[in-house]
Amino acid sequence: MPVLDMSLQELFSYKGTNPRPEDFDDYWTKALSEMKSLGTGYTLEPADITIPFGTCYSLFFTGVGGAQVHAKLVKPAKTGSKHPALITFHGYKSASGDWFDKLPYAAAGFTVASLDCRGQGGKSEDCSSVLGNTDSGHIIRGLSDSPEKLLYRQIFLDTAQLASIIMAMEDVDESRVGVTGASQGGALSIACAALEPRVARVASVYPFLSDYKRVWDIDLIHQAYAELKTYFRKYDPTHEREHEIFERLGYIDVQNLSPRIKAKVLFAVGLADDVCPPSSQFAAYNKIRSEKEIVVYPDFGHEYLDGLADRIFKFMMGL
């Protein structure tokens, strides 16, 4: 069995390395209060695609900081009873994807929403104003400012706000809402379920944004995490502030949010993943206290995992 950073036995007992801020819970309590003050209002615009079993829309809502946030929305044909919903999150620097990706769930009777993350590849607006580096990635956006200026704070809140909006729709059963995504999408699925505890099911695939210090320690600060090295080189070249920097990153570390999840969780990891190393993912998985299952792909990395889409579909059909 390939071993990138730990044996499988060690992975199942690993609890994470990155420091957790002492005021972590207060930080997110205040953040959620700000988000909830915005309500669950939204607007819809018809999309330029027609399907025989539902309707497609662009959904817009005002997120924290006044940003206009966009999601693709597919509503199934009315059945006269409330139905389940699925919210999907995309990979880093990408977007909500083609309509086609959402249609199997809509055909199965789900409302489907797919978020465009602020400032990435879709239509959502990033209107934040921060001190320091803004040119090399979203992990470090706001890292030189106050913790409230961290961009992923705002994106995490967008996921929870979108979930609340979907749950408030009159034809959606708020107790039957699932979330899923891979890489950044896997991390956002964890964050969403942690911040909106009514989420019933989570399918998180090799999540990003977990245990930053561990990724640093095993020298896998490249590809998705390369911006951390950029930040140190520009703002702390002798690492005098290393602990402070990693502690601040702890506010947006999904392993610290994982214990809040109440949903049933399906997790997937490739043991040859050198983009989001397995130990960083297990740091999040091992802290989940709700019912959970992990699917291990010994020979796979940060790539398509054979058979997993079908498994997730069956998992979500249990809603």
Q: Are 284 and 190 in contact (CB under 8 A)?
A: yes
> pLDDT value at position 52?
95
Query: How far apart are the C-alpha atoms of 201 and 199, rounded to whole Å?
Result: 6
Q: Are 113 and 56 in contact (CB under 8 A)?
A: no
Q: What is the DSSP code (8-state) at residue 220? A: -
Pick 129 or 39 by higher pLDDT.
39
Does 273 qualify as catalytic in the annotation?
yes
In 3D space, the residue among 101, 71, 114, 290 whose CA is nearest the CA of residue 193 turns out to be 290
Active-site position among 70, 83, 138, 302: 302
For the cut 60, the answer to whether the pLDDT of residue 1 exceeds it is no
Confidence tier at 3 by pLDDT (50, 70, 90): low
Does 302 qualify as catalytic in the annotation?
yes
What are the pLDDT digits (tens) for 123-167?
A: 999 887 787 766 668 999 999 999 999 999 999 999 999 999 999
Question: Given the structure tokens 């399918």, which residue do they identify?
Answer: 203
In 3D space, the residue among 212, 314, 208 whose CA is nearest the CA of residue 264 turns out to be 314
Q: Partners of 89 in the beta sheet?
A: 115, 181
For the cut 80, the answer to whether the pLDDT of residue 218 exceeds it is yes
- Strands of 54-62's sheet in order across: 43-46, 54-62, 68-76, 111-115, 83-89, 172-182, 201-205, 264-270, 292-297
Query: How far apart are the C-alpha atoms of 231 and 241, rounded to whole Å?
Result: 12
For the cut 60, the answer to whether the pLDDT of residue 300 exceeds it is yes
Domains (range + CATH), the chain: 8-316 (3.40.50.1820)
Query: How far apart are the C-alpha atoms of 232 and 152, rounded to whole Å?
Result: 19
Confidence tier at 62 by pLDDT (50, 70, 90): very high
> pLDDT value at position 33?
98
Active-site position among 183, 189, 204, 210: 183
> pLDDT value at position 134?
66
The mean pLDDT of 284-302, rounded to a whole number, is 97
Comparing 78-82, 159-163, 173-177, the range with the smallest average pLDDT is 78-82
For the cut 80, the answer to whether the pLDDT of residue 241 exceeds it is yes
> pLDDT value at position 4?
75
Phi, psi of 265 (to 5 degrees): -120, 135
Q: Compute the radius of gyration of the chain from its Cα atoms.
A: 19
Give me 276's structure tokens.
């989001």
Active-site position among 70, 253, 273, 280: 273
Does 210 qualify as catalytic in the annotation?
no
Average pLDDT, the chain: 95
Exposure on the CB side of residue 28, measured as CA atoms within 13 A: 24
Question: Given the structure tokens 């957790």, which residue do they identify?
Answer: 20
Strands 43-46 and 54-62, sheet pairing: antiparallel
Query: How far apart are the C-alpha atoms of 182 and 88, rounded to whole Å?
Result: 9
What share of the chain in percent tops pLDDT 90? 92
**Secondary structure element (H or E) that encloses residue 24, with its range:** helix 24-36
